[in-house]
Every structure is written in structure tokens, then in C-alpha cells.
Amino acid sequence: MSLGEILDESDGREVKRRARAAGPREHRLRRLLRPEPLFWGLFSAGGFVAAFLVPIHVAILGIAFAAGWLPSRAFSYERVQHLAHLPLVKLYLWGLIALPLYHWAHRFRFAIYHQFGILRWKRFIAVACYGTAIAGTAIAAWVLLSI
Amino acid sequence: MFAAAFSGLLLLFLLALSRGREAYEGFLRWLKLPAVVAVFAVILVAVLYHTLTWFRLTAHIQVVRLGRRVVPKSVVITGLFGTWVLASVMVAYIHIWF
């Protein structure tokens, strides 16, 4: 099945369920306050960071360092400590670590739903995915603040 | 998924850094193991694929207008890749030589 067909099929199921549940004003208000757009926005930002910044970081930390292409002081303890103490660098690293997690969370949540076809426990899966991303964000902040 | 894996690895790097010199040097030694380099190579291929598809998709969904004319998709993609190379060079400079 192509991705388009998978999405159309599960969308069709969703729309039928929502049409049945349309009702009083309080219910409509709660639907307006849903967190989906926030997570979609974080998904988008995370995807941008993952596309734009992560490749060069992976190439440097993962490949270039082990291959010995870097000058010896590049990863010296003193220099990295000095860099990591700068507030701007901490902020940058926090974004570099945290944002792709939300990209993963949003994409993985819908991969479970659309591609693996697990249509139950929707709220649990959503909480597990975004919760992992939020936990990762908190851990990153804690580690960065303790450097 | 691979980008998130790198997030985890970067977090380990910073954790080792926060624990002091020995932990940090140990982490650097771990980075040189062939198995670890292989993991990073897989992540690199995956995120580069992500970059390619992400820029392609952005050019499709974001219409760039100059006055009344529309910028063609190939130009948008080239612009995105150009900016990406520039940003990568800047990051590499700060990361390696600054």
C-alpha cells in the first residue's frame, strides 16, 4: 500500500468517529485547546534542525574525529570545556539535542498508527512518544546546566 | 529515528564532559572504536537522506514569490543546499578551530 493510500484509509476511519462525537459547546472548546499544533510545530522545527545542523555534527563527532582528520586541540578537554561554558553554546546544544526528539516523537507516533496499524491505545502512545521527547529535553537541560 | 539517536549520543558526550576529565577522555576513546564509528556512519547516511528529502519537500510546499513571479523549485532547493553548506562550514569552524 502506498503512503497516500494508508493515510486515506485511516483518515476515513477518523472522520467517521469525529462526525459522531460533534456536540455541546464545552466539547468544542476542548477541541480548540488541543496540543496538536504545538507538537506539529516542534516536529517541523526538529526536522529542520535534523536536516540542517545534525549532518555536520555527526560528520565531525562521529567520523572525522575517529579518522584523525581533526587538529589535536579540537577535542581537547580544556577547549571543549571552555566552549561548553558559553551560554550561547549551551542554548545551541540544547536546541540541537531536544528539537530532533520532537521530530522523532511526532513521526513515530503516526508511524505506529498509520504504518504498523495499531489503532488502539492512541492516547497512551501519544503520551509515551511526546513524553520521551519532553524527558529528553529536561535531561539535556540538566546535563548542560551541570557542565 | 537516527537523528534522535544522535541526540542521545550527543547527550552522552556532554554527560561525560560534565563528569570530569577522565570520563571525557574515556568517552573520546570509546568514540574511536570501529563499531561506534559504524553506528555514526549509518546515522550520517540516514540524516543526509533526511536533508535531501526535507529540502525537496520544503521546495514543494513553500511557494517563494518575488513580486508577481514565482521562484522555480530547483532554485529554491539550490538555495537551501547552498545555505546548508554555508551553515555547515560555520559550525565546522566553531567546532574545530575556534
Nearest to A104 among B4, B40, B43 (CB): B4
Domain residue ranges in chain A: 1-34, 37-145
- Reading the block at residue B58, the C-alpha cell is 520544503
Q: Given CB atoms, is A138 within the 8 Å cutoff of chain B?
A: no
Picking from A37, A142, A35, A36, the residue whose alpha carbon sits closest to that of residue A98 is: A142
In the three-class reduction of DSSP (H, G, I as helix; E, B as strand; rest coil), residue B65 is classed as strand
Does domain B2-96 fall under CATH 1.20.1300.10? My reply is yes
pLDDT band at residue A14 using 50, 70 and 90 as cut-offs: low
Task: Check residue A45 and give its pLDDT.
Answer: 92
Nearest Cα neighbor of B40 from A65, A103, A133, A11 is A65
- Considering only CB atoms, B24 lies closest to which of A67, A77, A83, namely A77
Cβ pair A143:B15 closer than 8 A:
yes
Q: Which band of pLDDT confidence, cut at 50, 70 and 90, is reported for residue A139?
A: very high
Task: Give the residue-averaged pLDDT of A100-115.
Answer: 89
Helices (H), chain A: 3-21, 25-32, 36-52, 54-58, 65-67, 77-85, 87-110, 122-145
**Least CB-CB distance to B18: which of A51, A67, A146?**
A146
Instruction: Identify the residue among A40, A54, A104 best suited for mutation to test binding to B, counting B beta carbons within 10 A and taking the highest.
Output: A54
CB atoms within 10 A of CB B15: 19
Q: Under CATH, to which class is A37-145 assigned?
A: mainly alpha
Rounded mean pLDDT, A42-56: 91
Provide the ipTM: 0.84
